[in-house]
Amino acid sequence: MDNEAITSDQEPQPTAAARRPILQRIFIRKGIWASLVVPVLSVFTAFIIGGVIIAASNTAVLAAWGNIFTAPLEALRITFKTVYDAYLALFQGAFGQPAELSAALRTWRETGQTQALWAALRPLGESLVISTPYIYAGLSVAFGMRGGLFNIGAEGQLFVGGLASAYVGYAVKGLPWIVHMPLAILAGLAAGALWGAIPGLLKAKTGAHEVINTIMMNYVAFRLTDYLLTGPMARPDRLPITPQVLPSAYIPTIFPPPVRFHWGFFLALGAAALMYWFLWKTTRGMEIRMTGQNQDAARYAGVRIAVITVLTMAVAGALAGMSGTNQILAVDHQLVRAFSTGYGFDSIALALLGNSHPLGVVLSSLLFGFLRGGAARMQSVAGTPVEIIRIIQGMVIIFVAAPAIIRSLYRLKTPREEDTLLSRGLTS
Amino acid sequence: MPPVLELRDITKRFPGVLANDHINLTLNEGEILALLGENGAGKTTLMNVLYGLYTPDEGEIIIRGEKVEIHNPNDAIEHGIGMVHQHFMLVPVFTVTENVMLGVESVKNGIFLDRKTAAERIREISQRFGLRVDPHAVVENLPVGVQQRVEIIKVLYREADILIFDEPTAVLTPQEVEELFKVFRSLVEQGKSLIFITHKLNEVLAIADRIMVLRNGRVAGITTPEEATRESLASMMVGRDVILEVEKPPARLGELVLEVRDLVVQDDRHLVAVKGVSFEVRAGEILGIAGVQGNGQTELVEALTGLRPVVSGSITILGQDVTNAEPRQVIELGSAHVPEDRQKDGLVLTFSVADNLVLNTYYQMPFARGINLDHQAIERAATERVQQFDVRTPSIFIPVANLSGGNQQKVIVAREFSRPIRLLIASQPTRGLDVGSIEYIHSQIIQKRNDGCAVVLVSPELDEIMSLSDRIAVMFEGRFLAVLPAEEATRERLGLLMAGIQEPMPV
């Protein structure tokens, strides 16, 4: 693509890459191929390294390698079997077991019994349940990044979103579902938006960096949660848990229990689609992307940067708030202190992996959801500690953030402009 | 005696581009060789090969009859090659001595910097070559011309005898250029050999011993100042005949478009950069604002376009007060702005050519319907404008970053000129562009003027100011020192004014 553009009359110039701040260069790559190849190879490589770690941390494998000289094939066999078993368990934990599913389908068709079917679908449903808050939170960070803002505050926004929707969920009584649930969602969105807009406003008015202030807002949100759970929002028995959200505010599940898979997942896909439409098909979206890519040019073009900054942070906050709202209204139905297992922080990694593109965020959220969903089974069946999953996730992020590793590993061509940039930087 | 430097069949490919195609170059001792060519002709690539920043795909480098391998700038310095970069590589807060010794620090007692010995040597070098500079001055306080001397001293300090100057005159006043040429001569007298990269024809004819012209990565010709003329060099560079002089009919003045009264503007460091400037521009005329860069032109233009707050004074466009107006309000009054730094202000490099062509009109009909962008309308307009303004791009969908500088500028010109505008503010509209693009953009500006647009042209290039303007203002330290009718402005007079020297009142 580049090649054609550089027609006969020019030398390569350090351009786009040179002008964009480093964070954005990491989070937003150019071109469809560039944005696919590295993440896919990163995931692949992370799994290979994960396999090595699985093998190396398994006592049976280590014992077999102790006898490498007497039984070399046995050592290799055990190694591969261990890794295979672990990943098989991970896969089955994440997606369910094909055999079980087909058996359940047969039972259903022959007897009309659905219980086994739901049981077989449960792992897949669970993975998607885990993916859902990831999607919202990942979209939040990605949205900010498209507007040139680094939203580290997704976790805090998620908490206040959860708090607001939980409150509306249990305190507002007597409304029909069709009113109550949207109202609770709206409350979560508004709280998240407010939490995001504050650092946005500070940035727009005073230039205070959003990274610092979103981090600070996280702490405020955590302590606010602590306070509310021990006082105003605590259960009647004073346990630091909110009262149960009324069923009229539930985001409903799709299948009967034990499958917890719920409509929130499709809402999340809807949010991703909406974000795509907003950013790429509307004038406001163009202003946000313009500001994100080149604030000076956006000002030159008549965009009001302050407005865009606040708007971007508010929307990012609302998305993260929705992540918490989703957990409260669709999964937990009450809010406990540790109701988020770091979705907000993982979301930074998701935006990175997903190239800050809605579709990319959805895909990387699915990946993280499946990894986490399958981890429990991997531990119980194959005896591989769940922490392996964290290692794999971490590896993926490292490789995506430092694409040079992947490029040299797989002998990929380095984008030329980065090259020139480096060489110019070295000149002295 | 063999030549000091010989490049044989140097070939350097970049993906899709043949930047240097079997280039042969000979540099004799004590010679000034001018390397002339448009942007993208391969001058910089060739010099980067010589300086070890690029490895050539083919060809060899021979220094004083010996074949050498140059893999990095250190190798180059080792072989006595020094480069004075267009953009200075100086640490602003360091002194001259510290900057010069950076990387080759002399040391006493093992660990302590020996500034004294270094300063001593710098003084010696500066005397020998006529490079006046105070070794203890802090670089950021020095004028650009002196900073350049520091760069030259840096190279001489490393004992280079082949000196490459990459567009050294781009940032200098005419007087500073004269100074630099004096330095060139004294360098050559003392046995140094120079390669002088430029695209300015006058300078080449004034100083070079031999001229080598590159075009599209190949040697287009080698000549001498005696044989060559401006016209012959220009056509050698571009590959066709070029009209250097702009033809323009006498100005037909119309209504008052821009009126500026006692304008005071601060720069980024909150220092007063524009100190009470007043002027008017009427429809159908070009007001040229000459001056060395950094004398408040940038701040003036930014204030005019709403990008920078006005401290006091007023700006009126077509009778409307736009002092401290939002940029969009200024734009919607029919004002167009070709910004000084096209990549920083004028374009979003990662956006497509099509999007950049509607960068400030995307929200208007027909490009938007309500809040929805009409991509079809945007693309139709883009296709039309790319054709009309001869933007060379393989597609309107590729990022504008992939275009050459000249074509990037054409995108801006296409965008700004295709709106119904009454006022054009063009800041260094041809900076860094090749002869062909300059010719084109100049003709477009004249066209706008003839169509009744008021034009403010800001440029440090005297040639540009003199050939386009109807009236010329010279800006120095935030003030207009003079506003002259173009007929009365001579190079010498403008040059003195640019240096802040007020001529005695005419008798």
Q: Worst-scoring range by mean pLDDT, A365-369, A393-397, A408-412, B33-37?
A: A408-412
d(CA B19, CA A277): 41
Chain A residues with beta carbon closer than 8 angstroms to that of B216: 8-9
Categorize the per-residue pLDDT at A248 as very low, low, confident or very high, splitting at 50, 70 and 90. very high
Chain A residues with beta carbon closer than 8 angstroms to that of B349: 15-16, 19, 293-294
Q: Worst-scoring range by mean pLDDT, A68-82, A243-257, B95-109?
A: B95-109
Q: Is B130 on the interface with A (CB under 8 A)?
A: no
Whole-number pLDDT of residue A410? 85
Instruction: Give the gap in angstroms from C-alpha A184 to the nearest C-alpha of chain B.
Output: 28
Percent of chain A at pLDDT > 70 equals: 88
Q: How many helices (H) and strands (E) does chain B have?
A: 16, 24
- Which domains occur in chain B, in start order? 5-238 (3.40.50.300), 246-334+420-507 (3.40.50.300), 349-419 (no CATH)
B343:A304 CB<8 A = no
Of B42, B48, B359, the CB nearest to A301: B359
CA A350 to mean position of chain CA atoms: 4
> What does pTM read for this prediction?
0.80
- What is the tens place of the pLDDT at every residue in B434-454? 777 888 889 999 999 999 999
The burial class, CB within 10 Å (0-12 / 13-18 / 19+), for B503 is exposed
Residues of A numbered 404-423 whose beta carbons fall under 8 angstroms of chain B's beta carbons: which are they?
413, 416-417, 423
DSSP A186: H
Q: How far is CA B154 from CA A408, A424, B90, B131, B344, in A?
A: 36, 18, 10, 11, 30
A247 CB neighbour count, 10 Å cutoff: 12
Categorize the per-residue pLDDT at A34 as very low, low, confident or very high, splitting at 50, 70 and 90. low
A299:B327 CB<8 A = yes
B394:A297 CB<8 A = no
DSSP reduced 3-state for B372 = strand
Whole-number pLDDT of residue B354? 94
- What is the tens place of the pLDDT at every residue in A157-172? 999 999 999 999 999 9
Q: What integer best gives the mean pLDDT of chain B? A: 88
- What is the tens place of the pLDDT at every residue in A363-392? 999 999 999 999 988 888 888 888 888 899
Query: Buried b / exposed e across B230-249, counting CB within 10 Å, b at 16+?
Result: eeebbbbbbeeebebeeebe
DSSP B138: B
- What is the tens place of the pLDDT at every residue in A111-136? 888 888 888 888 999 999 999 999 99
- Residue numbers in chain B where pLDDT is lower than 50: 505, 507
Whole-number pLDDT of residue A67? 82
The size of the A-B interface in CB pairs under 8 A is 151
Q: Is A304 on the interface with B (CB under 8 A)?
A: yes
**Phi, psi for residue A67 in degrees, rounded to 5:** -100, 30
Categorize the per-residue pLDDT at A23 as very low, low, confident or very high, splitting at 50, 70 and 90. low
Residue A86 domain flag: no
A8:B216 CB<8 A = yes
Please give the structure tokens belonging to residue B161.
């005898």
d(CA B174, CA B461): 9
d(CA A186, CA A195): 14
In DSSP terms, B261 is beta-bridged to B314
> Please, what sign has the CA dihedral across residues B102, B103, B106, B111?
positive
Chain B residues with beta carbon closer than 8 angstroms to that of A285: 373
Query: Buried b / exposed e across B91-122, counting CB within 10 Å, b at 16+?
Result: eeebbbbbbbbeeeeeeeeeeeeebeebbebb
**Phi, psi for residue B416 in degrees, rounded to 5:** -75, -35
Count of domains for chain A? 1
d(CA A26, CA A17): 10
Whole-number pLDDT of residue A30? 61
- Report whether pLDDT(A317) > 80: yes
d(CA B165, CA B223): 19
Instruction: Give the gap in angstroms from C-alpha A407 to the nearest C-alpha of chain B.
Output: 17
ipTM score here?
Answer: 0.81
**Side chain identity at A332, as an amino acid letter?**
D
Residue A357 domain flag: yes
Whole-number pLDDT of residue A7? 35
**Most B CBs within 10 Å: which of A13, A276, A291, A423, as the mutation test of the B interface?**
A13
Q: Is B324 on the interface with A (CB under 8 A)?
A: no
A376 CB neighbour count, 10 Å cutoff: 17
B368:A283 CB<8 A = yes
Question: Closest by alpha carbon to A60, among A82, A84, A88?
Answer: A82
Question: Closest by alpha carbon to B436, among B248, B244, B238?
Answer: B238
Domain housing A191: 132-369
Average pLDDT of the residues in A184-190: 97
d(CA A333, CA B227): 89
Residue A269 domain flag: yes
Residue A6 domain flag: no
**Most B CBs within 10 Å: which of A287, A300, A357, A421, as the mutation test of the B interface?**
A300
A300:B402 CB<8 A = no
What angle is formed at CA B431 by the lines to CA B499 and CA B418, rounded to 5 degrees? 125
Q: Is B368 on the interface with A (CB under 8 A)?
A: yes
Q: Is B168 on the interface with A (CB under 8 A)?
A: no
Residue A35 domain flag: no
Categorize the per-residue pLDDT at A428 as very low, low, confident or very high, splitting at 50, 70 and 90. very low
